[in-house]
Amino acid sequence: MEDRDERIWSIGELAAATGVTVRALHHYDSIGLLRASVRTSSGHRRYTEQDLRRLYGIRTLRSLGVPLGGIAAALDGADGGDAESLPRLLLRQLNALGEQALQLEQLQRTIRDLLGRLTDHGDAGPAYFTTVLERMNMFENYFTEDQRRELDERRGQLGQETTDQSRTEWVGLVDEGLRQVDGGVPANSPEARELVHRWDELGSRFHSSEGTKAAARSMWNGNSAELSRPLPWSADQLQALMAHLQEARAAGQAAAGQAAAGQAAAGTVS
């Protein structure tokens, strides 16, 4: 039997009492999110206390960034006795916010780079902005979300000063490597093997796993021309350097293997 003492609201009264616009209430009705429980004989909407509680639930979930489709599923599931529906929804929303936070961190770094360029050079033309966008797309295509987070954490641990010093050191290694390439220094020479040792050691500061190293190599191999564009060396120069380093790395591994085999043979003889 209907409780005649229950408070009911017209759509205008409900909008004034809750801060939700009449237009929003009409939209909620049209998508089935919040429909008035009562209609007058002339067809006007009348909202009950149950409708008010549902509206507060809608506002709460909207304030958490949950989309309207998710809100409907959560509230309908809760009304139907699905106690896990709302926790699942909130967990998905929490994960989505975590992904957005990572994207915001990456955007902050990009903006800082742009500000640095404007401060140092006084301008940042369209070509530079195009390069930035290309590099962002490459980064997302080659590195997983976990790998991007890993790189972010690693940079945070190193700090800005160490990161800047490492970049300066990297420039010196590139110049040294190009001198070896131009001078025809053999990849199996002590000089080349020392260079690749220092190169890999420097890279390990930023890569705490083989996964990010492999992703970085794949990104370079597939996009060397684009990645070289803002650098003071040509793509051909850097490709020749990468080949020299790879040959030196393979020569070092071969030498280490031969040394290990020799020690094993000596141990067998003795």
Tens-place pLDDT, residues 23-53: 999 999 999 999 999 999 988 999 999 999 8
Average pLDDT over residues 168-197: 92
Share of residues in the chain with pLDDT > 70 (%): 73
Q: Which has more confidence, 215 or 136?
A: 215
Q: What is the mean pLDDT of the chain?
A: 78
Residue 180 has pLDDT above 90, yes or no: yes
What DSSP assignment string belongs to 206-236? Answer: H-SSHHHHHHHHHHHHHHHHHHHTTSSS-HH
Q: Mean pLDDT over residues 44-69, rounded? A: 88
| pLDDT for 130 | 46
Mean pLDDT across 5-14: 88
* Domain residue extents for the chain: 1-121, 125-269
- Cβ neighbours for 44, distance < 8 A, ≥ 6 positions apart: 10, 11
Long-range contacts of 242-246, Cβ-Cβ distance < 8 Å, separation of 24 or more: 244/177, 244/180, 244/181, 244/187, 244/192, 245/177, 245/195, 245/196, 245/199
Q: What is the mean predicted confidence (pLDDT) over 180-192?
A: 92
Q: Is the pLDDT of residue 151 over 90?
A: no
Please report the pLDDT score of residue 135 as a whole number. 56
Give the CA count within 13 Å in the CB-facing half-sphere of 213: 12
- What pLDDT, in 10s, does the model give residues 68-107? 878 887 887 655 445 456 677 777 777 777 766 766 676 6
Question: Is 184 a residue whose pLDDT tops 60?
Answer: yes
pLDDT tier at 177, thresholds 50, 70, 90: very high
Residues 262, 264, 266, 268, CA torsion sign: negative
Identify the burial level of 12 via C-beta atoms within 10 angstroms of its C-beta, where 0-12 means exposed, 13-18 middle and 19 or more buried.
exposed
Query: Is the pTM higher than 0.75?
Result: no
For residue 2, the model assigns a pLDDT of 46
Residues 6+ apart with CB under 8 A from 165: none
Residue-level pLDDT at 213: 80
Q: Which residue has the higher pLDDT, 135 or 151?
A: 151
Q: What is the largest CA-CA distance in the chain?
A: 106
State both tokens at 44. Answer: 């006007």
What CATH number was assigned to the domain covering residues 1-121? Answer: 1.10.1660.10
